[in-house]
Every structure is written in structure tokens, then in C-alpha cells.
Amino acid sequence: MSVQAHFKVTHQEADGLGYTPVWKVVNYTHADLVGGTVLTIPIEAGTHVLGVAHWTKVAFDNAADLTVGDVQDADGYITAALATPTTINDFVFSLGQVGAYGVGGKFYAATNRIVLTFTADPAAGAGQVRILMSGVEA
């Protein structure tokens, strides 16, 4: 699993307001899944997660459904109905979607984790999780 942060200057930052949203990018393969079905990504206290995206780079076999949420709500960002991890180049972004955090994201006052869960243990596949956030980690 590899983690990167991509910084982009916003109009607010350019105006001196100090608001800097960033993408935390996590590339992973089926071998990174704990117990064969779960990937967790830590989120620091004081971080506002604005949205989460998932991109299937290499199709996951034997993985009928995929959800992305946090410790409190397993599909708060991406519900199983939105993602198709068995299809290469499937891309879904939580912003404006039906998940509990689809509108406005979620502010984490305490440390938490983004949790990606497959319903079955894939033997092949690779994906990317992108977390749009601001706050402590930004």
C-alpha cells in the first residue's frame, strides 16, 4: 500500500484565508487487505473529510460488493450499490451520493479510520482510494 498527499492551492488560500483541501491517495492491491477483505486508512483528529473516491485499477475477482465508510458507518461514503469493483476503471466519488456522508462529508474530532470492505476475499485486483480532506492532515 502506498500513500501520497496531493496539494492544490485554492482561491481561499491564495486570498490568505489558509483553507487548503488536499487529496490523500492510497494505492492498494488485494494482498493489502486485512483478513482478505478490509483496508483501513487512519484519519487524524481535527480532519474534515469532504469526500472519498474509489477507482478500480485492476478488476477484483470474487468481490461482488465494496463499501467505504468509517468505524461508525461502514458505508457512510460509498454504498455497495455505487461501486462495481469487478469492473476495471470503475470510479465512484461519494460527494452528492446516498451515503450518510455524501453531502458535506464528516468532521473527525477524534482519530478515526476510513474503512474499505469487500464482501468476499479477492485473489486478484488493485485499486486506489482518494480522500478529499482539510484540517490537521491537510
Could you report the per-residue pLDDT of 37-68, keeping only the tens digit for each? 999 999 999 999 999 999 999 999 986 799 99
Q: What does the H/E/C string look like for 85-122? A: CCCCCCEEECCCCCCCCCCCCEEECCCEEEEEEECCCC
Kind plus residue range of the DSSP H or E element containing 41 = strand 38-43
**Domain range summary for the chain, segments of one domain joined by +:** 2-135
What is the CATH T-level fold of the domain 2-135, as seen in this structure? Answer: Jelly Rolls (2.60.120)
Q: What is the pLDDT of residues 60-85, one digit of tens each?
A: 998 679 999 999 999 999 999 999 99
Confidence at residue 98, expressed as pLDDT on a 0 to 100 scale = 87
User: How many angstroms separate the CA atoms of 3 and 32, rounded?
Assistant: 13
Three-state secondary-structure class, residue 64:
coil
Cα–chain-centroid distance for residue 102?
12
Is pLDDT above 80 for 17?
no
